[in-house]
Each structure stands twice: as C-alpha cells, then as structure tokens.
A and B are shown apart, each in its own frame.
Chain A
Amino acid sequence: MGIELIYQKWSGKINEVTIGSESKAVKIGGQNSLPFLFKEGGLPNRPRIAFEIWDVPPQDWPDELRRPYGGVLEDVIKWAERCQEEYKAEIICVRLLGAHPDLGNKPSAEEARLVELLLQKVAVPLIILGCGDDQKDNELMPVCCQAARGKRCLVGSAVQDNYRTLTAAVLADGHNIIAESPIDINIAKQLNILISDMGLAQDRIVINPTVGALGYGLEYAYSIMERARLAALSGDKMLAMPFICFVGQESWRAKEAKALETEFPQWGPQRERGIIWEAATAVAFLQSGADILVMRHPESVNCVRDYINVNYQDVDS
C-alpha cells in the first residue's frame, strides 16, 4: 500500500518583481510554495545570483577574493564586464562606496555618469547600492536613479529612518527598491507599509532582511526569513516581497574566510575556506527563501549555481 504524501497549500503568493529591461530582464519571486517544494506550489522563477562590484578598489578583501578580479579591481567597468562575460553573471550589483564622505567623497554627478556607462556596457540587470551615508545617499541616489531612468534597476537601500528620498526617486524613475530591516520581521513589514503608503507598488519592493554568515548569526536571520515567508504565504501581503541576501559581504568578513593558514593550519587551505564559507552560507539562505543572493567569489557562485540547477533539473526537463 502506498503512502499518500500530504502537501501544504498556501493562500498567499510572493510578488513577482522584474529587474532590468528588455530581453535581459530577470524575474524573481512569484512563488506560492516554500523553496524547492515543487509539488506544493508554483516556483516560476529560480533564485538568482548577483555579482557584487565596487566603484573603488576594495582595501579589505582577502587575497583569495581579489585573485579572480586581478587587473580589474581598479576599473569598475572592466570588473563588470569580467563578471558578465567570464563569470556569466545574471545580475550585477554595484556599490557606490566611493561616494562616501570618508572614502573619497566622489561627487554625485560623477557616480551618475558611471551608472550611465555601466548600463551601456553591461546587458544584465543592475542593482545599485548607495554608499551607506544617509546624507550623501539622499543626494546621490536621486541622480543615479535619474541616470538609469527606465532601466528598472533594483536600488538600495531604504531603511526605517531614511526611506523617503529613495522611495520618491525610485517612484519617479521607474525602478525597484530594496527595503532593509535589521533582522526584524516587524520592522521589515513596517517599512514595506511606509514605502507602499508613498505610492510605490508592492511588486517593486524587495526585502533585505539583513543576514549573518555561517557561524555569525545565520540561524537567527534564517528563522526571521522563514517566519516572514510563512506569513506571506499565509496571506500577509505586506511581507509578500522577494528576499535579497548579501551573502558575499557577510561571508568574507568571517574569520574563517580571512584567517591566514599560518595562524590556523588545522583549518585547511585558505584558498578553499572563504569559498566554502560563502557557498555554504548562500545555500542555507536558499532554504529560507532567498530570491537574490549577492555574492563575491566566482567559484562559490559556480558552486551555488550548480546546487540550484540540480534542484531545478526536474523542472528543466
């Protein structure tokens, strides 16, 4: 006698968000099931991986992470091209850190020109992140949004204490927004309400729940994402947004990714550690519902991409 499996059916559905324009546009979200549970509902869009690039050469990246970008870290356009051509990036995420008052304070107009240039050279959709200084971002992001007008980028990050300027800019120039909350399901939802109240459509919002790397609070972030996703699938529209997880930035901060082999010989070769750390963290967040993973190392990206493909092979065939 066969055992009949019980499938969970959900009343809610995650919003489908389109990033980018024309043929290279990428759709995320749209599912009405938990990750990889194909029999329980529709999973029309697979999780996507974005490559993170900076407009200034990163100073604190470990050698292993710099190696795949040898010769292009100084030039963000070339860096983007390498991600797209060599590493087959589906999305590129540019962080305009050089605009930060402490890190060069590049004028907003210069950054806007850079965004324009990137959009010319790169065909895949673009995620544009500010420098992290509220005051500067409020000046910088509107001009960058304007420079990318009509390209339906994903722009971030709106936070509870500073979301209005960015929301207005995104609304004016037809982009999507990243709503960032500090590992707090209530604040995540409140921010979504506040942004929606300003008139931005709910299918233009992507949640950055803030995550921690393996060993650095991953479980906590995981459970917050899981709770939010369960609420959304149960019908809470104000949490029915796809997730973006900044896995690269968290993983490469971990001691396990950075420590030298001479310090911890028992930890194994440094060359592999960071890659494993980033891939393991990413795979964990795929289970909790990540829709976009922002990653750094091409080898960990390959690893995670394989993982996604293996899991989707039944769908593909």
Chain B
Amino acid sequence: MEKCKVIFYPEGKSVQIEKGKTILAAAISANIYINSSCGGEGVCGRCKVILKKGEVISQPSGRLTLEQRKQGYYLACQALVQSDLEVLIPPESRLDLDKLTQEEIDLRLKGLYAKAEEVDSVKSLEEGVFAHSPLATKLYLELPAPNHVDRISDLERLYRQIRKMNDIPVMQTGLVNIRRLGRLLRDSDWKVTVTLGKRNGTTEIVLIEPGDTSDKNFGFCFDIGTTTISTQLVDLNTKRILGTRATYNKQASYGSDIITRIICARQQDCLEKLHHAVIDSMNEMIQALIRDNNIDLNDVNCILCAGNTTMVHLLLRVDPTYIRREPYVPTANFVPTIRAAEAGIKINPRGLLFCLPGVSSYVGGDISAGVLSCGMYKEEEICMLIDIGTNGEIVLGNREFLISAAASAGPAFEGSGLSCGARAARGAIQKVTIDPKDFEVKYDVIRGGKAHGICGSGYIDIISCMLKTSLITKEGKFHQIKSNRLRQGDFGPEFIIAFRDEAETGSDIFITEGDIENIKRAKAAIFAAAAMLVKQMSLEFSDIKKVFIAGGFGTYIDVDNAVNIGLLPDIKRDRFIFVGNSSLAGARQVLLSHEAMKKIEEIARRITYLELSIEPSYMDEYMAAMFFPHTDSSRFVNVDI
C-alpha cells in the first residue's frame, strides 16, 4: 500500500498514512484532534481544513461556500489523501485539547449566573451527611510476631489485627498478596500498611505495603460526559479536594452524540478506539494531577466513575450496540468493582475501579449521582433534577418515589450542529442582550478576547431577546425588520451577533432560522420529557418545590431567558437551584463514603424509568413544545414575549 506523508500546520506534525484514507484519519493518527460532530459523515461541516499543498479526492459539500472552496477548504472527513499533503487546521475546526483552565472549571462547577451562596447551600446540604468511610482505607498495623504460643498463620494474624481495629467479619485477599505475605511481614519487621477496599459487599485486602504509608491514600472521582470529562483528586483520609481538572472527551472525534458513537463502535476496531480515547483522557488527567500535587501513582488506590450508560460501556470496552436497539437494554447497569488496570486506567496496579450504578440505557450513573448529591431522594417536597447535556435527563420525585426519563435533545445546547455554535469554553459568546430599539447586540466572551462562536446559554439569551424584541415570531422565523444585522444568507435570513472585525475567525458570527429550529427542537425534547413525567405522576409543574439544574451547560443558564424560550417550566424563579456538575459532586461523596455507595445503589434501584419512545403522547407533548415558549400559552403566563 502506497503511503503518503501528511503535515499538519500550525503544529508542523507529520504522519504517514495509506493513500486513500481521509485527512481526518491522518489527523487522528497524528494525535491532532479536529472537530467532527457527525462522526465523519460529511454533514456537520465542522472539520474544515485548508489544503496548502498536495492532492486529494473529495465529494462536493454544501457545507463549504464557493469562496471557501476557492481558498482551498475541504472537509477533513471527506477528503481522501492522494499524495503527500500539507494541511492547515483553522482555529474553528480545532478541538482544543488543552486542559480547561482552573477558572473555567470553577465556572462549570459553580455556575456563572448563580449566586455563589445558592450553590454552596446545595453543596453543604449533602456534604458531611454520610459518615467518612472511603472506598479505600489504609490501616497501619504493628503485628505481634508469632511464637510457640501464638501460632496462627500470617494471613489470619493479619485479619486478627485488622478486626481489632474494625468490625469486618468477611475479608478476602488475592493470591498475589498471599504469595508475598510471609516474606513481606518478616522483612518489614511485622509493621505493614494494608489497603482495604470495599468490593461488591465484602472487604478486600487490596494491598500490603511495608512500613507506615497510611497517610498517603488518594482517590479520583470522574464524571465521564459525552462532551466533557471532569475529575477531582481527593485525599481519602482528610476528604480534601487536591485538584480539579476537566478536558474534552477525545471520543468527540468519533461523533458528538452517543448514538453516533454507538454506531461507530460497531465498525472494525472502533470500539477499541473509543475505549482508548476515554482512558487516554482519564490517564492524562490523573498524571497531571498527581504531578501537580507531588503524589506517587502507587498511592492512588481507587477510581470512581459516574457516567451515562454508554460512556461506562465504552470505558469498560463493553459493546454498547444493544443500548440503541429495541427494547434498549444495556449489558450492565450495575457494574461490579474491578481493578482499574483491567480497564486500562493507570493507578496503583492493584487499585480498584468503581462505576456508579445506572437506571437504564439512557439514564446512567451520572444521574444516580446527581440525585444523591442534590439530596432529592430524601426530600419531603417534590423535586426535579434536570441535567441538560447532549442527552437531557430528568428525574422527578422525593423520598417516596423517583421517576426518570431521557430526551435526546441533541448537541445543540452544547453548540454543536449550529452554524456558529461553540462549546462553552474560551472564546464563546454568552450573556447576550439585544436593544429593542435599534437591535444592537451586547455580549460577553468567555475568558474575554475575540469571539469564535456562540455557546448554548448564548443561544438561549439570543432567542429570548429576539422574541422580546419581536425580531422573530413565536415559531422562530425572522420578521422583516430594518437592521444591518439582518441579512439574507445561503440558507435564508440570518442575524449577525458579532461582525467579522469582532470575531477571532474573521467571519461574521450569526444565527440562522435553522439554528433557531435546532434549539427549538432541543428545548422541546427536554420540556416535553419533563412534562411527561409530571403528567405521569398526575402533578402540575407548580407542585414542584425545587428544580435542580445540572450539567456542564446547566451552570451557565439564565433562568428567565430559559423560561422565555420554554426550556424550563414557568414556575417561581426562586425554585430553580443550580447544582453545577452534580454528577461529579455525587461521585466524590461516594468515593468518600461506603454509606453513600449503599445509598446510591438504593437510589438507582428505586428510580423508575419511563421510556418516552413508546409513550404515544410524548410526540404530542413534543409538538406542543415546538413553539416559543409553548403552544399552550396558559402554561407560560409569566412570560412576556
């Protein structure tokens, strides 16, 4: 097979690849990540690259304007390498793999618009509720040496000593540890540290080390999202959070939503690639955090993961195919504890990996964790948790009942599939206002500087403002107004949010009717799912006393605007509580408390799952929500648009 050399700029990285493969494939082999929302189908147009030198074969694409084609733009997923190439990746096509800054992580965790005390109060609500009993505990033991009177075996001697300190009737130990035990105890003068791990109902001696290392006991909790992976390094002895990191899920190169990724996993080697993409991201984050905190990898004894069901399958390299086939049954919701090494996670080789239990194919452990961390499972009053992400998951209930549903909102709120969409990261436009008189636009850019796109909360603000200023109708079509911001584009009218001189990309940043339609669909899916749950329980939205809004995106949302467009129900605004990344918060609690683990298992079993795709009235609810704010305006009386 003939090989070609492809050089990517601005990095200057080069890679050898078989002739006929796509530029996208070459980029992935070169460890350069390019946006690819559709998973290489050629429909999303987000993988644009500029060909500087060389020859490719490419299908014509409506995603490239004539001007762009003249400038040498191609879609990386459609361009087949025919010769040695030099390719420039423009900034807008780049999946910025740099770690998110601490500032951004704080924003994600706290919520930008939320008042700090609200978040704190929610967090403190559950913080400290569960007794401190981490999933991995270290005990320093000074064993009495055996003699003619005290002749019990080494292993029983160890157990006896442990039981003097803890009430653990059943313990198990791996053969590896037993083989080493005799020598180890004698060499260390009977002074050892044992690491005890909770494993599927019993306690395992995970590790035996010479001397006293009991002060070095660390763990990681992870939230594995479809778009973002977040983690915290926790000192299991002191409960202190030593550091937080978030990064994009490298799986994004294989498609931006879980369905595309499940389909992708069916292709040859793709399950392997998806698996590696996620563990690579996780290992990189672990490495960075232990380096920053001067911690030895061997002192990291457990990992706890909260993720949607598909993400957990891919993490464990379990085929997720059946998740998307009727009747939508996953391989496992309750995953037994395994060694982290079995999944390819690099911590102490004997360290354990826990996955939080999920409810169904589309309501995963991240949601169980959310329910745990917001505390709704023990509330007397009726609460709702809305986790807005690529999938919108909703849980309704209190201490008596919990019912959940998942709506495939699509990635619109994460900025994907929109003409100028961006993830909520550096350079994204948010907090937008439009002047009702002259339609002038004001906005913020995340972390300042020039804008390169609009993030989900930016779109919510824009659409809400456009409704209030009568720029668009309630179905999301532009009125004819006089403004230099409204122009006729290739796909109908479009409204310019930032002119090219304000944009990092050098082109106008705008919103089209198609974008509004996409957002409308996403918000309709989430609202309809929430409405279905409420109806299922014969309740009204007004019966809900607390609505917890979670998700990487959920932290940026402006409540009034979100109600204006009909994403959130029209109830008293002070009932909305931002919980930021509730999945990560729940995961941390479980990491630090075996009691919380028992509780979350109970929660996952308690949550009933309502499969919306087989509910005949869901489609009707969805169609009714396909309007701003809603076809049934009596449900949105406190909205003035």
Report which A residues bind B (CB closer than 8 A). Answer: 160, 184-187, 189-190, 193-194, 197, 236, 238
Contacts and interface: CB of A to CB of B under 8 A. Distances in A.
B627 interface: yes
Contacts of B473: 194, 197
Interface in B605-641: 620, 623-624, 626-627, 631-634
Given A186-B627, A190-B474, A190-B627, 19 more contacts: A160-B475, A184-B623, A186-B623, A186-B624, A186-B631, A187-B623, A189-B631, A189-B632, A190-B475, A190-B626, A190-B631, A193-B474, A193-B627, A193-B631, A194-B474, A197-B474, A236-B632, A236-B634, A238-B633
A160 B517 CA distance: 14
Main SS at interface, chain A: helix
Contacts of B633: 193, 238
A215 B469 CA distance: 47
Main SS at interface, chain B: loop
A52 B633 CA distance: 36
A236 B624 CA distance: 14
Contacts of B623: 184, 186-187
Contacts of A236: 632, 634
Contacts, number: 29
Interface of B: 473-475, 620, 623-624, 626-627, 631-634
Contacts of B632: 189, 236
A193 B633 CA distance: 10
A160 B627 CA distance: 12
A189 B634 CA distance: 13
A194 B477 CA distance: 11
A93 B474 CA distance: 31
B475 A194 contact: yes
**A185, A189, A190, A238: most-surrounded residue (chain B CB, <10 A):** A190
18 contacts: A184-B623, A185-B620, A186-B620, A186-B623, A186-B627, A186-B631, A189-B631, A190-B474, A190-B475, A190-B627, A190-B631, A193-B474, A193-B627, A193-B631, A193-B633, A194-B473, A236-B632, A236-B634
Contacts of A187: 623
User: Nearest 9 pairs between A and B by C-beta?
Assistant: A186-B623, A186-B624, A186-B631, A190-B627, A189-B631, A190-B631, A194-B473, A190-B475, A194-B475
A161 B525 CA distance: 22
A185 B631 CA distance: 10
Nearest to A187: B623
B239 to A, nearest CB: 51
A168 to B, nearest CB: 11
A209 to B, nearest CB: 14
A184 B623 CA distance: 9
B340 to A, nearest CB: 50
Contacts of A160: 475
A236 B623 CA distance: 17
A187 B625 CA distance: 10
Contacts of A197: 473-474
Contacts of B631: 186, 189-190, 193
Nearest to B470: A197
A238 B631 CA distance: 9
A238 B620 CA distance: 17
A236 B475 CA distance: 19
Nearest to B623: A186
B360 to A, nearest CB: 28
Contacts of A193: 474, 627, 631, 633
Given A193-B633, A238-B633, A186 B475 contact: no
A279 B25 CA distance: 64
B524 to A, nearest CB: 10
A197 B470 CA distance: 11
Nearest to A227: B620
A187 B623 CA distance: 8
A105 B99 CA distance: 63
B528 to A, nearest CB: 11
**B475, B620, B623, B634: most-surrounded residue (chain A CB, <10 A):** B475
Contacts of B475: 160, 190, 194
A194 B626 CA distance: 13
A194 B633 CA distance: 12
B250 to A, nearest CB: 40
A190 B520 CA distance: 14
Given A193-B633, A238-B633, A186 B474 contact: no
A197 B641 CA distance: 11
A186 B627 CA distance: 9
Nearest to A186: B623
A194 B631 CA distance: 10
A193 B631 CA distance: 8
**A186, A189, A197: most-surrounded residue (chain B CB, <10 A):** A186
Nearest to B480: A164
Nearest to A188: B631
Contacts of B634: 236
B619 to A, nearest CB: 10
Contacts of B620: 185-186
A197 B628 CA distance: 13
Nearest to A184: B623
Nearest to A191: B475
A291 to B, nearest CB: 22
A174 B276 CA distance: 68
Contacts of B627: 186, 190, 193
Contacts of B474: 190, 193-194, 197
